Structure 1
Amino acid sequence: MSDTGGVREVKSAARTVELLELLAARGDRPARLQELADQLGVPRSSMYALLQTLIARGWVRTDITGSLYGIGLHALLTGTSYLDSDPRVRVVRPYLDEASQALGETIHMGRLDGRNVAYLATRESHEYLRTISRVGRRLPAHVGALGKALLAERDATDLPEGPYEALTPHSHTSRASLLADLAEVRSRGYSIDREEGVLGIVGFGFVLRYDSPATDAISCSVPRARLTPEHEAQIITVMREIRSKIEATAPGTGGAPHWR
């Protein structure tokens, strides 16, 4: 049993979280009992009992045959509560609206989550449809504008050796390649994702330095076919202004909890 901050991990709690994370990661692909038991390395009978407990409490759902399992409604309700209770998200949302109206493009807010970035808020462009940017989605930090803006704020020793997962032919797959890119991010003051996460989409990421080390960033995504030099310059100007407004407005910790 592993240690967490000097306290022994509760095995049943860890198994429950692992199951929920596994179901959430599958998205619209429901799982069967044996799949879940095999992937988590637990007896089939124990997995069945855990699933039934979570179904009764709304955290897992099953189909009418009782043979397929997926993430339940209470996971959404809890996630929504996280967003509603986060003061940073509340501050950033109106500025995402402002950026979206000024640029006509899709604007995101994301937060570093280990080696991934979680999308916390999104304003979609009416000009094109995105399928990867919904709130709650996680992407590897090394493939997107949000993640690279945040990784550039951290020490190079924090990066794993690799090789890294490639989501497109343009993704960084080596530590050396990513480090060279992050050096450019620090030099110019923002990140550029040229089809590294999604083919046909270019992103520009701007870290929010209201915390140290920074954990949040905003980005603008635009179809490559529509990205002219003039529009790119406009995006950079507007997003820099939006970042400055957010950093000037974001509340200090005050009497509120300082989450880690």
Structure 2
Amino acid sequence: MEIEKLTSQDSETKRDTIKHVEKTIELIEYLSLEVSDIGVREASRILDVSKSTMQRILNSLLEKQIVSFNEKTQNYSLDFGVLRLALPFFDKNILKTVSEKFLEELRDEVGETVGLHIHLNDKQIVVHQFESKNELRWSIPVGKSYPMNVGASGKALLAFMDAETFERAKQHFSIETQFSQIGETLIRELEYVREVGFSITREEISVGVMGIAVPIFQNNQVAASLSIYGPVARLGLLNIEELVDRLKEKSQLISEKLS
């Protein structure tokens, strides 16, 4: 049998490829654990590679939507493509395993779409969902991210975050519009959410859509939010107090199993 021999050039190319992969993983880890965003110069300095190499790494990640680029700050941050990589693991994750039964039960009880949202990279992301069986319904693509200050699910997370995490999330807030708040207006709304234990919003993520959400806790830390969302024309006619009670009942059951 003929054995293929590697030339010195082949060996060098292989080493460069391995180093490139290692630095890519280090960059993703750094963005996940240490900072929320980073520029090319700082990333190349911290990871000890040339700016050209770092730019190639970032360009590759940008193309795959693993990172996103902020034109204003000229910095890169993790994007929802990371979640696509994590979703196969999430299928076996305790949060999904514990909550799935309760999400489906809630969907069947209220007749509207029910979703599970988490906080990732300073944004809210839907990681699991049971769609309404109604012909007219609203749902969010699993893995899609939104600013934390938009919609009931994000505010149910924000209201119970620790101060440091909240400050980081602020950097990615949506600008203030008639449908989203920042500053003191948002602070007052979040204080109310903490007081009553739920968030309710109308037409913040999409026109004609209403959402109601409550937090889910794990070891006294907010781990996710449980949401009901659907057309304002239908959801707004239901008994909101009863919907909130059902949400809180399911979230309490999930929280108990997580803890």
- TM-score interval, normalised by the smaller of the two chains: 0.5 to 0.7
Q: In 1, Cα distance between the equivalents of 2:218 and 2:98?
A: 12
Paired residues of 2:210 and 2:229 also in contact (CA < 8 A):
yes
2:191 paired with 1:187? no
Cα distance in 2 for residues equivalent to 1:186 and 1:102: 26
Distance in 1 between residues matched to 2:56 and 2:211, nearest whole Å: 41
The question of 1:13 aligning with 2:22 is answered: no
**Paired position in structure 1 for 2:159:** 152
Does residue 219 of the first structure (1) align with residue 219 of the second (2)? no
Equivalent position of 2:113 in the other structure: 106
With normalisation by structure 2, the TM-score equals 0.65
* Alpha-carbon offset, residue 134 of structure 1: 1.8
Secondary structure, counterpart of 2:222 in structure 1 = coil
Indicate whether 1:245 and 2:257 are aligned.
no
Amino acid at match of 1:203: G
Give me the whole-angstrom Cα distance separating, in 2, the residues matched to 1:212 and 1:123.
Answer: 26
Identity of aligned residues (%): 23
Partner AA of 2:179 in structure 1? H
Say whether the 8 Å CA contact 1:167–1:198 is kept in structure 2.
no
Q: Choose from 108, 131, 134 the match for 1:124.
A: 131
1:209 alignment partner, SS class: strand
Other structure's SS at 2:129 match: strand
Partner of 2:184: 176
Secondary structure, in 3 states, of the residue corresponding to 1:236? helix
CA contact (8 A) 1:159 1:175 kept: no
Counterpart contact for 2:153–2:226, Cα < 8 Å:
yes
| Secondary structure of the structure 2 residue equivalent to 1:122 | strand
- Give, in angstroms, the shift of residue 149 of structure 1: 0.8
Q: Which structure has the greater CA radius of gyration?
A: 2
Q: How many residues align?
A: 204
User: d(CA) in 2 for partners of 1:90 and 1:167?
Assistant: 36
Aligned partners of 2:138, 2:258: CA distance in 1, in Å? 31
Question: Normalising by the residue count of structure 1, what TM-score does the alignment of the two structures yield?
Answer: 0.64
1:88 is matched with 95
RMSD over aligned Cα atoms: 3.8
Contact conserved, 2:106 with 2:250, CA < 8 A, in 1? yes
Between the aligned partners of 2:199 and 2:246, the Cα distance in structure 1 is 15
Contact 2:138–2:229 at 8 Å: present in 1 too?
no
- For residues 213 and 251 of structure 1, do their structure 2 counterparts lie closer, same or farther at Cα, with a shift above 3 Å needed? closer
Decide whether aligned partners of structure 1 residues 178 and 157 sit closer, same or farther in structure 2, where only a CA change above 3 A counts.
farther
Is the Cα–Cα contact under 8 Å of residues 117 and 226 in structure 2 kept in the other structure?
A: yes
Q: Aligned letter for 1:108? A: G
Q: 1:16: how far off? A: 7.3
- Quick check: 1:206–1:217 contact (8 Å CA) kept in 2? yes
Partner of 1:197: 205
